[in-house]
Structure 1
């Protein structure tokens, strides 16, 4: 039987001690990012204003038109939220109910001549429904601006139709809170994005340079995918991020979402192709790649639609909320979770199939174990991050505009980006050619052949494969 030639990777020549050091370095880098983040600035800065203190004499909060100014802002504040919290009085102790009412909003901006002009030519009129527990209701978003264009804003808010208010109850106070990104966090974000962009570019150049001496047909499936993922990681780190502060437009934000979605989809596709391709020689586009691209494409498109749905509508109406368009939004969410479940089942099947066929074989065994361990680390850390960050709200209707979906601290930002960056950096190191690859490479990638040239002290693949069946090697 003919077996393809393959490049000897660093993964094949690592001793047990070196193998452990690779993971120690990986976890140390992630921990270092988390420690720096814990010492970093807060992400969101908020200022709350009580309307009760500004209430004109003999006026009711339920009929008063509120005028709320944002104060001085800059493009480094990135985004702007106005939230509202209603406090009640005259409600029975322990009462719980839903309060429905209407909210009319008009947003004014400060022009260059210090005059205020309307951001749009009409009021935004929407209904709101909040859950109330005795004397306090849940807060809700009045409006959200995805980027800060002007020096300051003023919101004119009128609330009415409090028909569902229990008998004897009345509004005691209305608290408006302006929230925006901390300028200090924005500076940290710019610097760390720049560092990740530079590191990724350097590692990508070094990685491709190390493989330049070998024919592309001899690259393993992992090596080929790393050469694709590294440029996508460069885009994921958003090299055009400074344009957010130089260009008053939604375009940089759109590209940021596209870069992020493309990279995450590529990671999902890489896992499917790697666990399937490691045990299969023939990988035609129609039979091997197309079903995986279709599945991951559906996941990516549904996720991208969900996250951009509200952003798109906010361009037309800053007071728009996905909760107001719950029918369409829920449909997209259900579709996303169904497709994601299918992906997860398929991935588990491929992993189980790979272990049942090639576990214990030299070369392939260590490749499979390393690929699985790193993938599990990324999945578990991401799952814990989402669970601790959002809790039950991860399944609720607040994917993008709610303040709950922003980073709570710098540690969360650095942990998220550091995890994915160091994951790719680690793989690019272990999958790059070994020092003696040019001379000791082009070995037949046959899992039934033992590494007879390696000493027992240095070789971590001490398993005999005489009882194992031959496996088709890497693709041509």
Structure 2
């Protein structure tokens, strides 16, 4: 008979009181993080310039000469946003116009450098909906990292001569990250990195006495997700303030996309894996899931890299306006998200219906579903409070980083995902008094209780035992006594 050690989960030893206490602790940790964020500094600082000179019509379309305030690496990024205020009108106004932008950088010694040789000429759309006087914001320039201590930007509006009489004001806003928030972000990311590293070590230490092949599916996935969570918190983040380079920011974006997509893959594999017994073939089990999540990851990373590469050459570049096929990419992404949701819902319903009479497998499904739904509900509330009904507009991604109001909106997402993974690691880790004695390691009752992978070889002595509600019925009093004593 082949002997294996079992890796039971703490999930099976908890009572209802323990589950309630665990959810309360989870919400308290999240609430504490949220309160700290509310008391923290604003994420974005803004400098507004009302450049309209009411005496001359030409000034209503420029050229406008703008200067940014003195900047440091702690300002991280820069956005120049234009807001045109029109007279009251009855009908909606939608008008395409040309915008000329010239960008210069000021060195520490006061010398001025042209960031690009040519004046950038871009086509933009002016949208004004009654009865509002202010039209939609137009992002003129976005700099993903700051190389100079100050920037000079010259802007001219073309093809709006027939609307000059209706233009009441033109306002430019220069937005950057608050240096105080940048310092706060460094510290909180460092705290999350240390906490995640500690949780990862404790989780790995709790499984040290069990062979890796005898870990449950959730335990195997946690051994992957926890290191990815460490990268999601980005231990290399301080490099953004030590170097004037696009690489640290790109690395951070890559880590976040990788972790989130692996989390999506984790949900698919677990809900399907709990139900599927026996060997899981790569082609039939993993390939469909990898295809859906992989395409989501590729589309997200493609848009990010495309935006980065073009912004390095042209700071006025906007992928949702300047890419002709953006709508096609957007529709592909939406279809992939819809396909993922439908597939996940199908797996959840099937697992719930097939495992409802198997107490241990059913408990695994119920716990993961309850905690995940709680996290998703909180995330949707935060997104709605931040963006409202504008969350699905075409400019959502482009203006995402400019809509933060305070540190709570940053800490809420980071804290939510971190505490979610910490809770899963606690639940799926073996308890301190986990059974792995040689008398119990071949017992099929404990194998069914603990391991959804069904990789445990029971041996010929147990192959013919009937199963009832997911647990083996013992044919001798010896096995019954062993079970009762534990």
Same fold (TM over 0.5): yes
Deviates more, 1:230-239 or 1:3-12: 3-12
Deviates more, 1:420-429 or 1:322-331: 322-331
Distance 1:105 1:449, change over 3 A: closer
Q: State the partner residue of 2:16.
A: 16
Matched, 1:67 2:57: no
Matched, 1:246 2:245: no
Q: State the partner residue of 2:359.
A: 362
TM-score, structure 2 normalization: 0.87
**Aligned partner of residue 254 in structure 1, secondary structure:** helix
Deviates more, 1:252-261 or 1:406-415: 406-415
Matched, 1:304 2:340: no
Q: Deviations over 1:11-59 (max 9, x none)?
A: 1111221121111111111111111111111111001111125x7x656
CA distance in 1: counterparts of 2:214 and 2:433, whole angstroms:
16
Distance 1:360 1:25, change over 3 A: farther
Q: Aligned to 2:197, which of 201, 217, 226?
A: 201
Q: How far has the Cα of 1:136 moved from its partner?
A: 3.3
Q: Aligned to 2:156, which of 132, 151, 158?
A: 158
Q: State the partner residue of 1:460.
A: none
Query: Given that residues 307 and 400 in structure 1 are in contact (C-alpha distance below 8 angstroms), is that contact kept between their aligned partners in structure 2?
Result: no
Q: State the partner residue of 2:83.
A: 85
**Aligned partner of residue 275 in structure 2, secondary structure:** coil
Q: What is the 5 A alignment of 1:44-55?
A: 44-53=44-53
Q: State the partner residue of 2:143.
A: 145
Matched, 1:442 2:438: no
Instruction: Give the number of aligned pairs.
Output: 451
Q: State the partner residue of 2:384.
A: 387
Q: How far has the Cα of 1:3 moved from its partner?
A: 12
**Aligned partner of residue 325 in structure 2, secondary structure:** helix
Q: Deviations over 1:217-248 (max 9, x none)?
A: 21000000000000000000011000111111
TM-score, structure 1 normalization: 0.88
Q: Aligned to 2:413, which of 379, 395, 416?
A: 416
Instruction: Give the alignment's Cα RMSD to 1 decimal.
Output: 2.5
Distance 1:28 1:236, change over 3 A: same
Q: What is the 5 A alignment of 1:50-449?
A: 50-53=50-53, 58=56, 60-89=58-87, 93-132=89-128, 133=130, 135-162=133-160, 165=163, 169-280=165-276, 281-325=278-322, 327-402=324-399, 406-439=403-436, 442=441, 444=443, 446=445
Q: State the partner residue of 2:43.
A: 43
Query: Given that residues 448 and 470 in structure 2 are in contact (C-alpha distance below 8 angstroms), is that contact kept between their aligned partners in structure 1?
Result: no
**Aligned partner of residue 22 in structure 1, secondary structure:** helix
Query: Given that residues 86 and 137 in structure 1 are in contact (C-alpha distance below 8 angstroms), is that contact kept between their aligned partners in structure 2?
Result: yes
Unaligned runs of 5+ residues in structure 2 are 451-465, 473-486
Q: State the partner residue of 2:479.
A: none
CA distance in 1: counterparts of 2:20 and 2:400, whole angstroms:
40
Q: What is the 5 A alignment of 1:442-461?
A: 442=441, 444=443, 446=445
CA distance in 2: counterparts of 1:469 and 1:46, whole angstroms:
61
CA distance in 1: counterparts of 2:20 and 2:59, whole angstroms:
64
Distance 1:449 1:249, change over 3 A: closer
Query: Given that residues 448 and 471 in structure 2 are in contact (C-alpha distance below 8 angstroms), is that contact kept between their aligned partners in structure 1?
Result: no
Q: Deviations over 1:57-115 (max 9, x none)?
A: 656224531110001111101110111112235x6x43431233211001110023202
CA distance in 2: counterparts of 1:343 and 1:58, whole angstroms:
56
Distance 1:242 1:287, change over 3 A: same
CA distance in 1: counterparts of 2:296 and 2:100, whole angstroms:
36
Distance 1:414 1:443, change over 3 A: farther
**Aligned partner of residue 327 in structure 1, secondary structure:** coil
**Aligned partner of residue 169 in structure 1, secondary structure:** helix
Distance 1:411 1:332, change over 3 A: same
Unaligned runs of 5+ residues in structure 1 are 452-464, 472-476
**Aligned partner of residue 67 in structure 1, secondary structure:** strand
Q: State the partner residue of 2:28.
A: 28
Deviates more, 1:236-245 or 1:126-135: 126-135
Q: State the partner residue of 1:457.
A: none
**Aligned partner of residue 393 in structure 1, secondary structure:** helix
